[in-house]
Structure 1
Amino acid sequence: MNYLRSATLAFWTAALPLAACGQAPALTTFPVGTATVTVSALATNLNTVWELVWGPDNYIWMTERYGRISRVDPATGQVQALLTLPDVTPTGESGLLGLALHPQFATSPYVYVVYNYTASGALKEKLVRYTYSAAAGTLTAPLVLLGNIDATTSHSGSRLLVLADGTLLMSTGDAQQQPQAQNTASLNGKILRLNLDGSIPANNPIAGSPVYTFGHRNPQGLVQLPDGSLYSSEHGPNNDDEINKIEAGRNYGWPNVEGYCNLPAEATFCAANNVREPLTTWTPTIAPAGLAYYNHPAIPAWRGGLLLAVLKNATLLHLPLAAGGQAVGASTGYLSTFGRLRAICVSPQGKVYIGTSNRDGRGAPATTDDRILVLENRAYAPSATRSAAAPSFDIFPNPARRQATVQLSALTTRLAVCDLTGRTLRELRPTGLAAQLDLNGMRAGTYLVQVEGSAGRVTRKLVIE
């Protein structure tokens, strides 16, 4: 029978100090209020990073426009390629776009992606669900949930977002067919809402239709706040890029309205068609892309605001929210020396991950582009009490074969070995400062070792050869 054995090995505590976590070299630093943010590169030599999602497995899930889906280890930067889509059409702005993960990923390991493909000589767009195998490191069993959406080599959207109610949003561009954005029978120029099995929610604004909002030109950012508020970033034509507050059933004006309802014809249309004006606009345009919400104490000046990755103006914008989220204050720009920025996600530790898009045909790629950049306050510690009590540990050897030793910095309440979906495979309650893991019978692959103490949980990777 496989088991975990605990033993007190006091002499190891003095002889083998815990390994310090290495930090990547700083590329630059900049002040944000009283904090100093350090920028480093997590991964390099990528190709048009389109989406970054922080997964429940504590890995970053990434799409690249030419069709590759990967997991990225935030500790090492190692890129684990899972699948390159066989039918993706990466032409112009088209290709593999947004990604989302099922909210119950441990029991329903589904990965949702939206991408462009070619059917009967025409460019189309579809939403596909894949099933992830942590043991095999693969995505299989593609299931098309929504397809045959008109597309062109520009204005395809498309961001995916799982809402707190367990439904899925998908943004679509107008595919250069501007009048279709106002046609609720068309799926172009919309934000769509589906159940996670692809069916249509019974409480959608239009019965039997996936259309959630309409009148969009090319929305490429979606985020939901803890209070349920939804925001989107949207590309304008040569004027009026927008940040919108998304409300079910509302019309966002395109192509009859560009930006605010501030021209006579626009004001008439807005009054007659329930148009929701943007919170803010940019003229000249900046090309807004990925959108995230930041509310972590690591960078206090960003708390409670939106972070926007910008392509054309090649910057990261902080957008403070005001009036209960009904307005956006004056923006502040950062990170202006790394080229086009498209993807963004925030980790539970308050680190911000940015994907560059310099190999998309419109940038000037550096030798290591495209990159995932990490923005962090390296001086931040949660609290003196928590830092002192937080469990820490080392595993050796790693990679391991039949057994490994976990060396603890302090007594802990629980030690577990989990698969990459978070499912507990083995567990014990250590009674000393070291625990021996019997790995016999476990398949080769990557696992997670979790140590829990009074201050929280710490996870490290274990590779079994």
Structure 2
Amino acid sequence: MDKKIQIVAIVGAIIFSVLVLTSPSDPIPLPKPISNSQNDFVAILAEKLDKPRAIAVYENRIFVTEKDGLIRVVQDGNLLESPLAAFRPANVFDGGLLGIALHPNFPNNHFLYVFLTYEEDGELWNKIIRITESENKLQDAETILDKIPGSSFTNGGFIKFGPDEKLYVGTGTISDASHLPQDLNSLSGKILRLNDDGTIPDDNPFSDSPVYSLGHRNPQGMTWDDKGNLYVSEFGPEKNDEINMIKAGKNYGWPEQECSGNVNFEDAVLCYDPSIEPGGILFYTGDKLDFEFPFIMASMRSANLYQVDFEEGLSSQKSILSGIGRVRDVVEGDDGSLYVITSNTDGKGFPDRTDDKLLRILK
């Protein structure tokens, strides 16, 4: 086994890479996911998840959001029968119960945060809810930010706490024809930065505004490197998926720019044409797994988990895991393991009878 951890599928399925993608308008014939409880490198912790969207890990518990409104808990490797919470989100293709984040002081305050799409008077909106849990049950729920413009297809919805213990939120555009991502008075198409109670930090780049950066289309993942730089993955319309390094107060161009080319906007660090549909990303800080490159990226359209060096570019990109279909999110556990969810029941994949799955990469 190569020490650079080329894990070639759960049971030797075909590796799909950017180089073999068809044109963006053609569907990609993804390999059928193969069910297997465990091998030397990958363990399946949960099966039959329904449209999972995001995961968060604390010690022996993994919290999973399902698009249709449930927060599921996997504890000590077992999927609990009862959900932690059940919401009634809007029934739209790419909205619902989306991102999830744990408060930095979660062991003491038991706060979880989720991003939820809902409908009111015929309009779609998103909001951020702070949940207090106890023994995997909801004790309290409070909306801390509301009236984020919603969409059937581009809500963004990824949320994470940064090294500064502020809550960062990626919001999408309401449509590809909308110019709200360029409007500082709108919460659409932005990276937002909030205090843990939803109030606005005093040191945000725009006075009395939660907006941290603007000009985004559909953020799907975020991570910070060891220097404190924030990176965000984004879906393009049919091509030009982006990895952006986010700087406070900067404009990333949507819909005026895709990837690069306009001096008035920030250029993407990486641009994918054709699309790979990047999902969750992370900067790996553990020592359990030996990666050549530090950034780990989930990809739905190309059905892979990749390692990549954003500074080196696409030439550094290598597959870690494939053969499980669409890969939605990836997080690092306390012990340095990686946890991954598939996204084969989202309407774009080819689910088998055990999809979707939560997996742990062991070595």
Is the structural similarity TM-score above 0.5?
yes
SS of aligned partner of 2:78? coil
SS of aligned partner of 2:179? helix
Whether 1:373 aligns to 2:359 is yes
Report how far residue 174 of structure 1 moved. 0.5
Report how far residue 321 of structure 1 moved. 4.2
Structure 2 matches for 1:111-130, cutoff 5 A? 111-130=112-131
* Structure-2 separation of matches of 1:104 and 1:232: 24
Q: 1:50 aligns with which of 49, 53, 77?
A: 53
Aligned to 1:99: 100
CA contact (8 A) 1:87 1:118 kept: no
Report how far residue 80 of structure 1 moved. 5.5
Q: 1:298 to 1:211 in 2, by over 3 A?
A: same
SS of aligned partner of 2:181? helix
Aligned to 1:357: 343
Report how far residue 226 of structure 1 moved. 3.4
Whether 1:170 aligns to 2:156 is no
Alignment-mate amino acid for residue 301 of structure 2 = K
* Structure-2 separation of matches of 1:178 and 1:373: 37
* Structure-2 separation of matches of 1:328 and 1:170: 26
Report how far residue 84 of structure 1 moved. 4.0
* Structure-2 separation of matches of 1:158 and 1:329: 29
Report how far residue 47 of structure 1 moved. 0.8
| Structure 2 unaligned blocks of 5 or more | 1-8, 14-38
Alignment-mate amino acid for residue 159 of structure 2 = L
Alignment-mate amino acid for residue 67 of structure 1 = G
Q: 1:115 to 1:226 in 2, by over 3 A?
A: same
Q: 1:84 to 1:138 in 2, by over 3 A?
A: closer
Report how far residue 322 of structure 1 moved. 3.6
Post-superposition CA distance 1:44-87 (Å, at most 9, x none): 011111111112x43111111111112212x4233364444333
User: Once superposed, which parts of structure 1, at least 4 consecutive aligned residues long, lie more than 4 Å away?
Assistant: none
* Structure-2 separation of matches of 1:328 and 1:248: 26
Report how far residue 350 of structure 1 moved. 2.3
Q: 1:139 to 1:180 in 2, by over 3 A?
A: same
* Structure-2 separation of matches of 1:334 and 1:209: 40
* Structure-1 separation of matches of 2:338 and 2:11: 15
* Structure-2 separation of matches of 1:170 and 1:47: 24
Most deviating of 140-149 and 155-164: 140-149
Post-superposition CA distance 1:101-139 (Å, at most 9, x none): 1111122211110010111122111001111112xx311
Report how far residue 348 of structure 1 moved. 2.5
* Structure-2 separation of matches of 1:169 and 1:80: 31
SS of aligned partner of 1:107? helix
CA contact (8 A) 1:322 1:328 kept: no
Q: 1:214 to 1:37 in 2, by over 3 A?
A: farther
Aligned to 1:281: 271
Alignment-mate amino acid for residue 145 of structure 1 = I
* Structure-2 separation of matches of 1:112 and 1:281: 30
Alignment-mate amino acid for residue 234 of structure 1 = E
SS of aligned partner of 1:181? helix
SS of aligned partner of 1:227? coil
* Structure-2 separation of matches of 1:314 and 1:178: 30
Aligned to 2:331: 345
Alignment-mate amino acid for residue 48 of structure 2 = N
Q: 2:306 aligns with which of 317, 324, 348?
A: 317
Larger Rg: 1
Whether 1:28 aligns to 2:30 is no
Alignment-mate amino acid for residue 318 of structure 1 = Q
Q: 1:300 aligns with which of 269, 290, 298?
A: 290
* Structure-1 separation of matches of 2:316 and 2:95: 32
Q: 1:232 to 1:119 in 2, by over 3 A?
A: same
* Structure-2 separation of matches of 1:187 and 1:92: 21
Alignment-mate amino acid for residue 279 of structure 2 = A
Aligned to 1:223: 223
SS of aligned partner of 2:112? strand
Q: 1:86 to 1:352 in 2, by over 3 A?
A: closer
Report how far residue 218 of structure 1 moved. 0.3
CA contact (8 A) 1:241 1:287 kept: yes
Whether 1:76 aligns to 2:65 is no
* Structure-2 separation of matches of 1:163 and 1:170: 10
Question: So what's the TM-score if we normalise by structure 2?
Answer: 0.86
SS of aligned partner of 2:360? strand
Aligned to 2:184: 184
Structure 2 matches for 1:416-427, cutoff 5 A? none
CA contact (8 A) 2:151 2:173 kept: no
Post-superposition CA distance 1:324-380 (Å, at most 9, x none): xxx675211243311111011111322211101111111110110000122121xxx
* Structure-2 separation of matches of 1:295 and 1:132: 28
Alignment-mate amino acid for residue 113 of structure 2 = Y
* Structure-1 separation of matches of 2:91 and 2:108: 32
Post-superposition CA distance 1:122-170 (Å, at most 9, x none): 2111001111112xx3113211111122212110001111112121001
CA contact (8 A) 1:221 1:289 kept: yes
Alignment-mate amino acid for residue 109 of structure 1 = H
Aligned to 1:41: 44
* Structure-2 separation of matches of 1:182 and 1:54: 34
Alignment-mate amino acid for residue 58 of structure 1 = N
Question: So what's the TM-score if we normalise by structure 1?
Answer: 0.67
Aligned to 1:234: 234
* Structure-2 separation of matches of 1:38 and 1:83: 29
Aligned to 2:138: 139
Report how far residue 94 of structure 1 moved. 0.8
Report how far residue 41 of structure 1 moved. 1.2
